[in-house]
Structures are given as structure tokens and as C-alpha cells.
Amino acid sequence: MNPLSFYSKKKIREAIVKVARNREIVVKYGDKGFGKRPDIIQFEGDVLELARQGVTSFHISEEHWSDPLKLQPGMAKKQLDELRTGWDFLIDIDAEALEYSRVTANLIVEALKFHNIKNISVKYSGNRGFHIAIPFEAFPEKVNNQDTKMLFPF
């Protein structure tokens, strides 16, 4: 399926807009490179227009921001911490063979479930790997008396 046909689907556009809320997004134009940063998506029409312009994929930050458009290259950690409102925990699994990644991802998901973590997503990340994610909302507000949002990056 070509990207325009895929991103023309209403449910796909709705899902992208929902996940992209308060996050920086970067678009990819196939082999031609990436779009400008920072960028955001606010409306379903944004997704469709970008697909018409040749976007082949949308990359959405695991970090949540009060205003993603205020992000600039070279910002100090303190500045980033002031803008960051949360983050999703992401495990990126890549192995020499896809089957190794699949087995590893399954073991990690089973371990997370064993520890009563219920809100887990798994996505094929392309080539030889998977992304396992836990949304920020699944974490307590504080960990060891620190605001959880301040625990990024580890």
C-alpha cells in the first residue's frame, strides 16, 4: 500500500493526531530525508497534507512537551526539563536476526506483565527489531520522592 493511501484512512489519521498531542514529530520523505524540526501535528488534515507532499513515515517523540515548537537544537538540560511534561518508557530491541528480537520482546513483555504492568504496546520497528512502550500515564507521579517527569533521560 502506498503511503498516501495508508495515511488517507481516517482511523490512521485520528490515531496519529491523538498520539502526537504535545509531542514533537519528525516526518520522513522516503530516501529524500527528514522534515524540519521542531514540528507538530494538530489536525487530521495535517497528516493528509504531509502525505500528499510525499511523507512516507511519521516519527513521534517519546517525550511530552508543554510547547514542542519551543524546542531548539543545543538547548540546555534545564531548559528541556522546563518544557518537558512527561515521557514514555521505550525499549528498543534490535538483534542480528528478527526471530531473536521477537523472542526477546516476548520475554520482556511477559516480565512486565509479571510485575503487574498492564499498559504495554509492542510495535515492529522495521528491519530486525521491536519497540516496547509504556506510557507516562502508567507511572506514579513521584518515584523515590522525585517527580517522575524529571527522571528523563535515565
What cell numbers appear for 18 in the block? 491523538
Q: Is residue 126 part of a domain?
A: yes
* Residues 97 and 53 reside in one and the same domain: no
Domains of the chain: total: 2
Q: Cell 509492542 appears where? A: 122
Domain boundary among 68, 98, 124: 68
Query: 142 pLDDT band (50/70/90 cuts)?
Result: very high
CA dist list (Å): 127 to 47, 90, 97, 130, 136: 24, 18, 9, 9, 27
* Residues 88 and 64 reside in one and the same domain: no
* Residues 15 and 62 reside in one and the same domain: yes
pLDDT at site 1: 77
Average model confidence (pLDDT) across the chain: 95
Residue numbers of the domain that contains 143: 84-151
- C-alpha–C-alpha distance, residues 34 and 54, integer Å: 11
Q: Is residue 79 part of a domain?
A: no
pLDDT tens for each residue of 14-26: 999 999 999 999 9
The one-letter amino acid at 14: E
Domain boundary among 13, 42, 68: 68
pLDDT tens for each residue of 100-130: 999 999 999 999 999 999 899 999 988 899 9
Q: Is residue 74 part of a domain?
A: no
* pTM of the predicted structure, to 2 decimals: 0.85
CA dist list (Å): 84 to 81, 120, 145, 154: 5, 22, 18, 14
pLDDT tens for each residue of 3-17: 999 999 999 999 999
Q: What are phi and psi of 34, to 5 degrees?
A: -105, 160
* Residues 92 and 130 reside in one and the same domain: yes
- For 108, the enclosing helix (H) or strand (E) is helix 98-114
Q: Is residue 77 part of a domain?
A: no
Contacts of 140 (CB under 8 A, 6+ apart): 148
pLDDT tens for each residue of 41-60: 999 999 999 999 999 999 99
Q: Is residue 13 part of a domain?
A: yes
